[in-house]
Structure 1
Amino acid sequence: MKMRDFPSCFGESGVQIADSSSSSSRASQNLVTCLYRTKVHGCSCTITVTWSRSLMGQGLSISIDDDANQSLCRVDIKPWLFSKMKGSKGLEADKSKVYIVWDISAAKFGSGPEPLEGFFVAVVIDHEMVLLLGDLSKEAYRKTNAVPSTSNTMFISKREHIYGKKVYCAKAQFCDNGHVHDIVIECDAVGLKDPSLEIRIDRKRVMQVKHLAWKFRGNQTILVDGLPVEVFWDVHNWLFGSPVGNAVFMFQTCLMPEKSLPWTCPQVSRDSQLSGIGFSLILYAWRNE
């Protein structure tokens, strides 16, 4: 993929980089989506966990899709029902018994909709714990009576909305059992003739883009924990679009053939991820006015 084709696949994934008029309300932007890859009876499937927050409260959605991108099952815990911060749901999925259990009654939250600690969310398929989120693992196993899964569930992608005026912050773990890193994106594009972009990881500058007006889309490889990470950016809306437009950044732990972007075209994304392409972090950066 050539860089001039960078935004060509947007829209299928719900975000138009070159047209901020398609952006939704601030409430709907307050969500975090995480994708996990696992195997059920030897077949690959993807578990999507979406955390959301609105004026009505917290929301949680969990869906399981098979290798053909067909939905096996889905659970939506709507914000107006989330006053019950713990519960369970039993489902049938392709002749398998799925049991989803959650307890967020004592969870601690930061600025985003994803809980930080004091919670668990468990996905059990045929009595195996295929996905366990949170720090209350003992409580999760006691509640579900599940056994550890024989398959290795992998965290493959995270999409998150972040906000700021000049500085935008996020956290990421680029490999299993790796360090959790602080990511800082700094860009003062308002009223400057020659704006620049800087990215720091754990306070160390790893990337700087000067003459941003000419390089508003691009990619560059950096090293994190000795691992090459390809960074893609698109700040067109910040420089030339609507004042409420967003920029998009992606951190991809593996280089992909022809620099294809797994978060722009869903089918390309899914095929790449299921073949073990690695972890990707997608950040939608919104400017606070």
Structure 2
Amino acid sequence: MMDFPSCFGENGVLVADSSSSTVSKASQNAVTCIYKSIFLGKSYLITITWNKNVMGHSLNVEIADLSGQSLCKADVRPSFFSKRKGSKSLEFNRIKIDLYWDLSSAKFESSPEPLEGFYIALVCKQEMILLIGNMGKEALKMTNAVHSLDGSSMMCIAKRENVYGTRVFSTRTQFGDNGPIHNLIIECDVTIGAREPWMLIRVDKKIVMKVKRLQWKFRGNQTFWVDGFPVEVFWDVYNWLFGTGNGVFMFQTRFSKLDGLPNLERFEDCKLLAGSGFSLILYAWKNK
């Protein structure tokens, strides 16, 4: 994959080269979430990838160390998803980790990731090392695992997804691990012949950022505030104006001390994101 940083934004921060703003067609129907979890006395990164294709939904789970080195992985293929509920075991340093899922009541919209009515759980030595979804009680009953009530042993640190639209691109997200869920909307006018292309971002119904003269500011960064803390957004919409690919956006609640912008295309290189708060990376595709 290609590196994201190569060109300076308007405030002197590295943002994308236009050629790196595209992703493969195979990954367009995937949502990837990275969680930081503490178990067996150490911190690990757990990557959950939701996929959707003509065969149906599938799920990939991978556990890595903080350097991004893969330690074990498992796939839940569409044939397993047809059962909507089940379990599978992974071997991790000669220790068994059990994966449980229940999507029998899951509600999906356009995204491969369900909205509600599900749980995904990972258990190691009767300890719940990852629990996602809104059916925590059912997961605990099924697994008989011990779960930290404050959730301090696990947190979501990064998410990547694809959004589609003509002028409006939307998703739902939490800017903090335990914060409220917001409607995030990117709206733009970059039609050919537009007198002055523009772009704005809304959180719920509030405009938090507006960029005029987008033909000159197709790459850049700004900061806005949500839930009492700053969120920095980086964007590269060169392909919307001058190419045929997608726009790319990164929302981050806090930066670690890095030289420039993290490598967004190498999203699996989690060591760049593990200490930097929460990151949301959106690939915005224009419908033809």
Q: CA RMSD in A?
A: 2.1
Shift in CA distance, 103/266, structure 1 to aligned 2, threshold 3 Å: closer
Which residue matches 1:119? 118
TM-aligned CA deviation for residue 151 of structure 1: 5.6
* Partner SS state of residue 73, structure 1: strand
* Partner SS state of residue 270, structure 2: helix
Mind listing any 5+ residue stretches in structure 1 that lack a counterpart?
9-16
TM-aligned CA deviation for residue 59 of structure 1: 0.9
Is 1:44–1:274's contact at 8 Å kept on the other side of the alignment?
no
Shift in CA distance, 139/229, structure 1 to aligned 2, threshold 3 Å: same
Is 2:15–2:235's contact at 8 Å kept on the other side of the alignment?
no
Q: What residue identity is the alignment partner of 2:72? A: C
* Partner SS state of residue 116, structure 1: coil
* Partner SS state of residue 114, structure 1: coil
Which residue matches 1:188? 189
Mind listing any 5+ residue stretches in structure 2 that lack a counterpart?
none
Which residue matches 1:233? 235
Is 1:18–1:241's contact at 8 Å kept on the other side of the alignment?
no
Q: State the number of aligned residues.
A: 275
Is 2:165–2:285's contact at 8 Å kept on the other side of the alignment?
yes
Which residue matches 1:61? 60
Which residue matches 1:132? 131
Which residue matches 1:31? 30
Which residue matches 1:254? 254
TM-aligned CA deviation for residue 271 of structure 1: 2.8
Shift in CA distance, 69/272, structure 1 to aligned 2, threshold 3 Å: closer
The answer to whether structure 1 residue 212 and structure 2 residue 221 are counterparts is no
Cα offsets for 1:255-281 (capped at 9, x unmatched): 3434422534558x5334333x10011
The answer to whether structure 1 residue 7 and structure 2 residue 16 are counterparts is yes
Q: How does 1:80-229 map to 2 (within 5 A)?
A: 80-149=79-148, 152-191=153-192, 192-229=194-231
TM-aligned CA deviation for residue 6 of structure 1: 2.0
* Partner SS state of residue 69, structure 1: coil
Task: Determine which structure has the larger helix proportion and give its number.
Answer: 1
* Partner SS state of residue 274, structure 1: coil
The answer to whether structure 1 residue 274 and structure 2 residue 274 are counterparts is yes
Is 1:197–1:210's contact at 8 Å kept on the other side of the alignment?
yes
Structure 1 CA distance, aligned partners of 2:34 and 2:120? 14
TM-aligned CA deviation for residue 80 of structure 1: 4.2
Is 1:18–1:236's contact at 8 Å kept on the other side of the alignment?
no
TM-score normalised over the length of structure 1:
0.88
Is 1:183–1:200's contact at 8 Å kept on the other side of the alignment?
yes
* Partner SS state of residue 84, structure 1: coil
* Partner SS state of residue 130, structure 2: strand
Shift in CA distance, 173/164, structure 1 to aligned 2, threshold 3 Å: same
TM-aligned CA deviation for residue 62 of structure 1: 0.8
TM-aligned CA deviation for residue 42 of structure 1: 2.1
Structure 2 CA distance, aligned partners of 1:285 and 1:274? 24
Shift in CA distance, 19/177, structure 1 to aligned 2, threshold 3 Å: closer
Is 1:85–1:103's contact at 8 Å kept on the other side of the alignment?
yes
Shift in CA distance, 68/18, structure 1 to aligned 2, threshold 3 Å: closer
Structure 1 CA distance, aligned partners of 2:224 and 2:185? 14
Is 1:54–1:79's contact at 8 Å kept on the other side of the alignment?
no
Structure 2 CA distance, aligned partners of 1:54 and 1:105? 19
Shift in CA distance, 172/266, structure 1 to aligned 2, threshold 3 Å: closer
